[in-house]
Structure 1
């Protein structure tokens, strides 16, 4: 079994920008079709809601605390096995295009070869938000030569990817296509859609959390929606090209994003929080093995995606990967593990969160610096949401006496998940003045 593999990767895209998750604006017809006809991962979560740690996890299949890339600005260690190494060893040509964000943070020009994660073909910028604007895109090839690409940034990257797909080759390919859209333009804190696209949404629908909370939503949501619409059109062009070239039936396609966006409603920027707006992302597979239209309804972590890609290509999943392939689940096999995911949170805090089908529980390490400290020995309850009754996470129940038993159960489970992730067993303290003070697992 030899199959091409293509990852279509967006940046900072909320799950509810998509039609299959209830957005009424029709922003994502191509993703929605892919989700309906392929495998929709209905409950998909980043393992770390910030760029570099999430990207490191997707490249390696390992926790950010395991690779050391627990925050932005820490490069992926040279020699750390990546998907590129795994696919190369299996005889694939590997290619990466777009935003990398896993080299030294001061790299404004070409990324040094040893920091490219083992990819053979290369057309990237480490920090694309700083070497590009909406209609100005500079990427660097494997020789370190700059390429100034014309047009809107997402279109420019798509054009380059289509040119790559049209090349003649005698090996299967693994292409990781990494867009910046719909991430904000850092230099001016704006969401620059293509000309005329933001104007399509003069009275935009808002998810419940954004409608209820103060932030920058009303200034930025129209541009954000316009960026989502254009990147979905790019997905349509990529998949049409695969069909035109006769590659669609032999190519596994994964669509996902590194984290979501809460528009400064939860803290002073756009992510780095435990809330679904920050951690839940759109995810779907298409192609061989994923084409029966059955969704994956268990909660899925980003860490499960790399082993799924390897498994779908017939490549053995290495035991050091922390996630598990979704293919047994899609074949109807049962999974005896609890249906939950762990999220590590850095930079804004040293935090840990547990997401279950009904509950969101989070704890924070008091006094710890999220920029210097990857993990802690002690945490304190910070958030509890009943997602059945409060899907937009507007009512924090962490201090509710009626929920002490639920808190104790979730606290103990979070300790277990933290230990499973390779961290030391922490003490998590209750915020209640009376009653049990800790949960040791």
Structure 2
């Protein structure tokens, strides 16, 4: 992986003392998948044995058992993971909006502490018409680069083209996820004087756009075809029967890639000094909630697998509180012994990891765009969603007025099949949820009016 023109941090510097051995800051790796449902993992009840490496990581490290994206669309979610801010606040509230070039990102924060910073894989935060090389000023501050803005359009299952820091194309051999993993292992295990921060961004298990297919490694789709089907897909159908085998096969290969990366860290003596985060940008509802795969407030779109391991994270205790993507950037900085910027909306999970008293709310805010201008509140029991009736999901990042549109009782209806928003029996649940959503929106600078659902609502 080549370096960009601005070079590396000062030779020999490692920043301030961190939590790694010898006072050195630990390395940090983000293992980032695309469009992966939480219930593809064994720890969440999937019976097919797809994720033994993730399951072991969750059991031995920190399993974030209730993890949610703050926006179920690729670019907005990615912008939030880079900045620790909600999509409507970064300006990247939908796809085809580049991350502002002056936006402070994780790469900037780690580089300022003396880290080498590397990005491999799918970026999706550059100019709308860029499917290949990304201009240096649009790389979010990453110094080492092997990526494509829209990897789904520069690659296929066994054809992968990525671009280095000089804009040169590299055709990588093998299955796409394997090729990215090989590059990541090379980056993580090379000789260096500084700690490193690596963001490894896969396309799997996202569909292959140009033919709307889920191309698993050869033989893997057949292995899982006709297998276990989650309750929402069994009830609603969509195109899950056609694609679930391939999707599961992609998840299985991702887990094998995770195993290879973790094994390489062990082999090179890096495991005890490396924080690893596994998460995904959003889920997949297989064309059951709208005409494609995400962009809805349902758990199939917003709930994702998340786990951490590394120094200080080997607790074997899950975090059961609801966690939002915006909590992950401050967690990574905190785990590396670095300060968390005040403008990040989220809060580090380390107090929860350490069992310290913590007054954070047990709910998450979700912003929805493109399909609608919506907002949702997810609590342990309820999914409460509002939609702006006069706003355009493509042109409007937010609205002054929303109408109650969704209410699901997740205790009795975990698959979100019965919308109770107009049910007289659920009427008492609405006012406190409405007030809480208004409070959460105010935290992000939004002050809308939320109107009750009309009596004829579905």
TM-score of the two chains, using structure 1 as the length reference: 0.97
Secondary structure at the counterpart of residue 361 of structure 2: coil
1:151 partnered with 2:174: yes
Partner residue of 2:344?
Answer: 321
Partner residue of 1:427?
Answer: 449
| Residues 298-313 of structure 1 mapped to structure 2, 5 A cutoff | 298-313=321-336
- Pick the aligned partner of 2:33 from 2, 6, 10: 10
Alpha-carbon shift at residue 433 of structure 1 (Å): 4.9
Contact 2:315–2:353, Cα closer than 8 Å, also in 1: no
1:72 partnered with 2:95: yes
Which runs of 5 or more structure 2 residues have no equivalent in the other structure? Answer: 1-17, 19-24
1:105-150 residue CA offsets vs partner (Å, 9 max, x unmatched): 2012210000000001000000000000000000000111100000
Contact 2:363–2:378, Cα closer than 8 Å, also in 1: yes
Partner residue of 1:189?
Answer: 212
Alpha-carbon shift at residue 331 of structure 1 (Å): 1.2
Partner residue of 1:178?
Answer: 201
- Pick the aligned partner of 1:352 from 375, 378, 391: 375
Which runs of 5 or more structure 1 residues have no equivalent in the other structure? Answer: 435-441
Partner residue of 2:416?
Answer: 393
| Residues 19-168 of structure 1 mapped to structure 2, 5 A cutoff | 19-168=42-191
Partner residue of 1:295?
Answer: 318
Secondary structure at the counterpart of residue 242 of structure 1: helix
1:216-253 residue CA offsets vs partner (Å, 9 max, x unmatched): 00000000000000010000000000000000000000
- Pick the aligned partner of 1:370 from 378, 393, 396: 393
Partner residue of 1:437?
Answer: none
Q: How many Å separate the matches in 2 of 1:164 and 1:287?
A: 18
1:9-40 residue CA offsets vs partner (Å, 9 max, x unmatched): 00000000000000000000000000000000
Q: How many Å separate the matches in 2 of 1:38 and 1:121?
A: 28
- Pick the aligned partner of 1:225 from 248, 251, 255: 248
Partner residue of 1:403?
Answer: 426
Alpha-carbon shift at residue 335 of structure 1 (Å): 2.3
Q: How many Å separate the matches in 1 of 2:131 and 2:290?
A: 28
Q: How many Å separate the matches in 2 of 1:270 and 1:26?
A: 24
Contact 2:422–2:455, Cα closer than 8 Å, also in 1: no
Shifted more, 202-211 versus 347-356: the winner is 202-211
Partner residue of 2:384?
Answer: 361
Partner residue of 2:8?
Answer: none
1:298-333 residue CA offsets vs partner (Å, 9 max, x unmatched): 100000000000000000001000000000111112
> Across the two proteins, how many residue pairs are aligned to each other?
433
Alpha-carbon shift at residue 214 of structure 1 (Å): 2.6
Q: How many Å separate the matches in 2 of 1:130 and 1:152?
A: 15
TM-score of the two chains, using structure 2 as the length reference: 0.94
- Pick the aligned partner of 1:418 from 427, 438, 441: 441
